[in-house]
Structure 1
Amino acid sequence: MKKIGKKHWTTLTLLSCLFLAACGGGGGKAVDAPKADTAPSTQQADAGKTEKPAEKLKIGITQIVEHPSLDASREGFIKALSDNGYVDGETVEIEYQSAQGDQSTVSTIAQKFASDKKDAILAISTPSAQAIVKTTEGTDIPVFFTAITDPLSAKLVDNLEKPGKNITGTSDTHPDAIKSMMKTITELFPDAKKVGVIYNSGEANSVVNVDNAKKAMAEFGLEPVEANASNATEVKQAAESLLGRADVLYIPKDNTAVGALQAIIKVAEDNDVPMFVGEMDSVKNGGFAGFGTDYFELGYLTGEMAIKVLKGEAKVGDIPVQFPKELKLAVNKKAAANEGIDLEKLMPVLNPYNPVIIE
């Protein structure tokens, strides 16, 4: 075995000490080495991160029954949302429920929307709005209504300029609509004295409309003849009950009657009875004539009100209730022929109104 010299031994001893110090051996305190920068770069972190998609707003829409005017209001509301970036299936989830004319279903839908804690609710028609207002009372869910005859008498709001609470919306009643209709009836059919009115006395909005119609009739020397229909199946019978008792028919903005409008139209056409209606969509669908507003535009206006709230630009209770700004007379040319009306003969009376003629 080869001896190790003193010089080499000293060198080995120093190397051993250094090795033990570096390994923390010998029970001595180790000297911490500078920590390496092991944190991933910002680019690496972003690459490995799964971004959570933004939560969609939940919007509920409910209406008492499906008919053209209410449907147009709904479509206008949704279009306003979409035009402002609130697209169904992308940034919002819209749940639509129709009560199909059943009052118990109206309440069930209202309860569901409230329990779901929707970010906003649109109630189309007075019965639907009343149920939603009652169910969401005391919550902060923004509620919007449209196609409402009289928000005050329906007790949806206490003040039209500043509704307060969590609700606002639009009314479909132009203050001159019913009076203009009764005046036009007397001008077109001066011999007509009795006006048959079909409506559901259980609908608060209908009662208001009919009361206003009676006042207007009295002003123009007309007499109302009422026929009640509590549901859609009773509408045809109600219309038939007016035959021989009324010179013309008037169908107000009543959800039950308008929902079964075709049944009334058949009675009117089969018996050559002029049929007047309370809104323009019913003229498009077979009524002879009526004053009204564009329900799509009304729904769009309601949607614009909702957008202000969703964007945090306004509180729902601070937005005034809105009304139609324009009133138009629409006349259905085909309906006139089907109801035995000589439209050409009546045009000199109609022309000053600049009516919308529906072919």
Structure 2
Amino acid sequence: MQIKKLMAGISLAGLLLLGGCSNNKKADNDSDVKHVGVLQVVQHPSLDKAYKGFKKGLKEEGYVEGKNLKIDYQNAQNNQDNLKSMSEKLVNEKSDLMLGIATPAAQSLANASQDIPIVVTAVTDLKAAKLVKSDAKPGKNVTGTTDMVSIERQIKLLLSIVPKAKTVGIMYNAGESNSKIQADLATAVLKKAGVKVLIKTANSTNDVQQVTETLASKVDGIFVPTDNTFDSAADVVGKVVKEKKVPLVASSVDQVKTGGLASIGIDYELLGEQTGKMAAKILAGKAKPADMPVEKAHDMKLVVNKKMAKALGIDPKSIKAPK
């Protein structure tokens, strides 16, 4: 009996030892996996594509989900309380790096941690959002890509489509600092061109239809900056401007594809891909956010919604990108 007990004890000890080795091996493997926390402010095509591109950029640099990369994706659905709690969650999980998609998400992550590396995308002005000290030398734990486009070119595009325009409308969510920056720039360009400006704002997607209907009945053309609220309701905007026969130029390519006429805008998937490659350098220890200049989109292109053009009685081929 004692021999059996002794043998059983030896077997148990052996199993425990093997188990310990297995756990150590797992721990070693886990240490090779990079944990990335992602916070997106709301779900709509442009931001979804930015996230898709981000993962593609990481993959191209050798970071693959399920292999050496784990992503914790959080979507706040445009709720401020969600932004705060989700940011804290990603920080508490000790992410190796965090991604903020759109200005509110980026600011929430930056407020939650001054230590964990953060990259951002779909943010118009990182300095104005107090995310970096300067675009050339961020100086903090945050860097990334800006979706700022040439507002002057967008307005020139709109005025080339409606050259006799006397009044141009601008609509956006005043609660989004990135949108206001672009709206102010557009206003200045229009006034310089001698065009009257009429501004309408929406606090949520519930207000978009009424705002668009009111504005479209009073103007010769409409400009919409990159704006999460109006991007989320692009189909609603499209129905109204088509019915009112009002040309709409937007900074977002996806807004145009869904409910606008034209844009010299950004492909958010490509912008996200740029961001992913920046993140890969940080994860590999080749760079730090403080020293990585903020990057602009590599490619800007003219996008024309041909169906919308025909519905407005405009020849799509007549729309050209101004210099």
Q: TM-score with structure 2 length normalisation?
A: 0.88
Judge conservation of contact 2:183–2:225 (CA < 8 Å) in 1: yes
Judge conservation of contact 2:138–2:290 (CA < 8 Å) in 1: yes
Deviation at 1:243, TM superposition (A): 3.3
Query: Among residues 274, 292, 298, which one is paired with 2:247 in the alignment?
Result: 274
Query: Among residues 164, 167, 170, which one is paired with 2:139 in the alignment?
Result: 164
CA distance in 1, matches of 2:225, 2:322: 20
Q: Is 1:104 the equivalent of 2:104?
A: no
Deviation at 1:352, TM superposition (A): 6.2
Q: CA RMSD in A?
A: 2.0
CA distance in 2, matches of 1:72, 1:64: 13
Deviation at 1:247, TM superposition (A): 1.3
Query: Among residues 146, 149, 156, which one is paired with 2:124 in the alignment?
Result: 149
Query: Among residues 114, 121, 124, which one is paired with 2:91 in the alignment?
Result: 114
Q: Is 1:123 the equivalent of 2:107?
A: no
CA distance in 2, matches of 1:316, 1:236: 40
Q: Is 1:217 the equivalent of 2:190?
A: yes
Deviation at 1:49, TM superposition (A): 5.5
Judge conservation of contact 2:121–2:272 (CA < 8 Å) in 1: yes
| Secondary structure at the counterpart of residue 157 of structure 2 | helix
CA distance in 1, matches of 2:75, 2:152: 31
Matched residue type, 1:149: T
CA distance in 1, matches of 2:131, 2:235: 31
Matched residue type, 1:320: P
Matched residue type, 2:314: D
Q: Write the deviation string for residues 207-244 of structure 1: whole angstroms up to 9, x where unpaired.
A: 10111111111122222211111111111111112132
Query: Among residues 308, 312, 322, which one is paired with 1:335 in the alignment?
Result: 308
Judge conservation of contact 1:291–1:327 (CA < 8 Å) in 2: yes
| Secondary structure at the counterpart of residue 97 of structure 1 | strand
Matched residue type, 1:73: A
Q: Which one has the largest radius of gyration? A: 1
Structure 1 residues 80 and 220: CA distance shift in structure 2, 3 A: same
Deviation at 1:296, TM superposition (A): 1.2
Matches within 5 A, 1:129-140: 129-137=106-114, 139=115
- Residue 296 of structure 2 corresponds to which residue in structure 1? 323
User: Number of matched residues?
Assistant: 301
**Matched-pair identity in %:** 38
Judge conservation of contact 1:73–1:124 (CA < 8 Å) in 2: yes
| Secondary structure at the counterpart of residue 285 of structure 1 | helix
Judge conservation of contact 1:182–1:220 (CA < 8 Å) in 2: no
CA distance in 2, matches of 1:98, 1:148: 16
CA distance in 1, matches of 2:68, 2:189: 47
Deviation at 1:337, TM superposition (A): 2.0
| Secondary structure at the counterpart of residue 183 of structure 2 | helix
Q: TM-score with structure 1 length normalisation?
A: 0.79
Deviation at 1:353, TM superposition (A): 5.3
Superposition misfits of 4+ residues, deviation over 6 angstroms? none
Gaps of 5+ in 1: 1-44, 355-359
CA distance in 1, matches of 2:315, 2:111: 47
Query: Among residues 261, 265, 278, which one is paired with 2:238 in the alignment?
Result: 265
CA distance in 2, matches of 1:157, 1:125: 15
- Residue 6 of structure 1 corresponds to which residue in structure 2? none
Matched residue type, 1:152: K
CA distance in 1, matches of 2:200, 2:136: 36
CA distance in 1, matches of 2:128, 2:313: 37
Q: Is 1:91 the equivalent of 2:63?
A: no
CA distance in 2, matches of 1:335, 1:91: 45
Matched residue type, 1:270: E
Query: Among residues 206, 214, 217, which one is paired with 1:241 in the alignment?
Result: 214
| Secondary structure at the counterpart of residue 25 of structure 2 | coil
Deviation at 1:96, TM superposition (A): 1.1
Matched residue type, 2:164: D
Matched residue type, 2:259: G
CA distance in 1, matches of 2:211, 2:85: 29
Name the structure, 1 or 2, with higher relative contact order (CA <8 Å, separation 6+).
2
| Secondary structure at the counterpart of residue 181 of structure 2 | helix
Between stretches 283-292 and 206-215, larger displacement belongs to 283-292
Q: Write the deviation string for residues 229-265 of structure 1: whole angstroms up to 9, x where unpaired.
A: 1111111111112132111121111111111111111
Matched residue type, 2:57: A
Matched residue type, 2:145: T
Q: Is 1:178 the equivalent of 2:151?
A: yes
Matched residue type, 1:91: N
More helix by share: 2
Judge conservation of contact 1:61–1:97 (CA < 8 Å) in 2: yes
CA distance in 1, matches of 2:96, 2:82: 21
Gaps of 5+ in 2: 1-16
Structure 1 residues 91 and 325: CA distance shift in structure 2, 3 A: closer
